[in-house]
A and B are shown apart, each in its own frame.
Chain A
Amino acid sequence: MMEISAVDILAAALVAGILNLDQVQVGSFMLARPIVTAPLVGAVFGETALGLWIGASMELIWLTVLPIGNFVPPDGQVAAAAATIAGAVWLQGSHDFPTKVCVTMLAITFAVPVGILARGADRKIRERSEKIASYAEAVIESGREVHTSLLILQAIGETFVKSVALTLGAGALAVLLIPVVEKLLSEPGICSGLWFAQFILPVVGIAFLMEVLGIRERWYYFLIGLGTILIGKALLVAGMITP
Chain B
Amino acid sequence: MITLKERLRLFLRSFFVQTAWNYKGMQNLGFLYGVAPVLDRIWTDPKERQEAYQRHIQYFNTHPYLAPVIMGVTLKMEQELKESKDPNPKLITLVKNRMAGPVAAVGDVLFWESLRPTMAAFGAFIVFFFPGEILLAGIFIGAFLGVFTFLSFFYRALGLQWGLRHGIGVVEYLKSMGLQTTARRIKNMGLVFAGIFAGVYVTDPRILDTTLAADDLHLAPNWPAAGLLSAFLAFAFFLIRKKVPSTRIFLIIMTLAFAIGVFLWV
Cα distance, A116 to B248, chains bound together (Å): 11
Bits for A188-212, please: 1 = Cβ < 8 Å to B, else 0.
1110111111011111111111111
Sampled A-B contacts (19; CB under 8 Å) = A24-B21, A25-B18, A27-B15, A28-B148, A52-B141, A69-B61, A140-B50, A188-B265, A192-B265, A196-B257, A199-B229, A206-B201, A207-B233, A207-B240, A209-B193, A213-B113, A221-B188, A223-B195, A233-B203
Closest CB in chain B relative to A205 CB, distance in Å: 6
* B20 touching A132, Cβ below 8 Å: yes
Known: A36-B141, A193-B258, A236-B218. A229 touches B199 (CB 8 A): yes
Contact stretch, chosen from A10-18, A81-89, A143-151: A143-151
Cα distance, A24 to B36, chains bound together (Å): 21
Report A73-128 residues with CB < 8 Å from chain B CB: 74, 97, 109, 112, 115-116, 126-127
Cα distance, A136 to B26, chains bound together (Å): 14
Contacts across chains A and B counted by CB atoms under 8 Å: 305
Cα distance, A218 to B240, chains bound together (Å): 17
A27 neighbours in B (Cβ, 8 Å): 15, 152
A200 neighbours in B (Cβ, 8 Å): 229, 232, 253-254, 257
Cα distance, A111 to B153, chains bound together (Å): 33
Residue from the list A28, A59, A109, A199 in contact with B152, Cβ < 8 A: A28
* B33 touching A149, Cβ below 8 Å: yes
How many chain B residues have a CB neighbour from A under 8 Å? 99
* B145 touching A29, Cβ below 8 Å: yes
Bits for A21-45, please: 1 = Cβ < 8 Å to B, else 0.
0001111111101011001000000
Residue from the list B22, B53, B203, B218 in contact with A129, Cβ < 8 A: B22
In order of increasing CB-CB distance, the 8 nearest A-B pairs are A225-B195, A229-B199, A196-B261, A192-B265, A193-B261, A207-B236, A226-B195, A130-B22
A4 within 8 A of B: no
Known: A210-B194, A222-B195. A136 touches B50 (CB 8 A): no
| A65, A134, A199, A233 interface centre (most CB from chain B within 10 Å) | A199
B194 neighbours in A (Cβ, 8 Å): 206, 209-210, 213, 215, 222, 225
A214 neighbours in B (Cβ, 8 Å): 187, 191
* A136 touching B57, Cβ below 8 Å: yes
Contact stretch, chosen from B74-82, B83-91, B123-131: B123-131
A185 within 8 A of B: no
B99 within 8 A of A: no
Of all chain A residues, which has the CB nearest B252?
Answer: A204
Chain A, interface size category, equals 35 or more
Closest CB in chain A relative to B252 CB, distance in Å: 10
Of all chain A residues, which has the CB nearest B231?
Answer: A203
B72 within 8 A of A: no
Of all chain A residues, which has the CB nearest B206?
Answer: A199
Closest CB in chain B relative to A150 CB, distance in Å: 10
* A31 touching B145, Cβ below 8 Å: yes
Contact stretch, chosen from B114-122, B162-170, B172-180: B114-122
B192 neighbours in A (Cβ, 8 Å): 221-222, 224-225
* B29 touching A213, Cβ below 8 Å: no
* B261 touching A205, Cβ below 8 Å: no
B68 neighbours in A (Cβ, 8 Å): none
* A63 touching B236, Cβ below 8 Å: no
Residue from the list A68, A137, A155 in contact with B112, Cβ < 8 A: A68
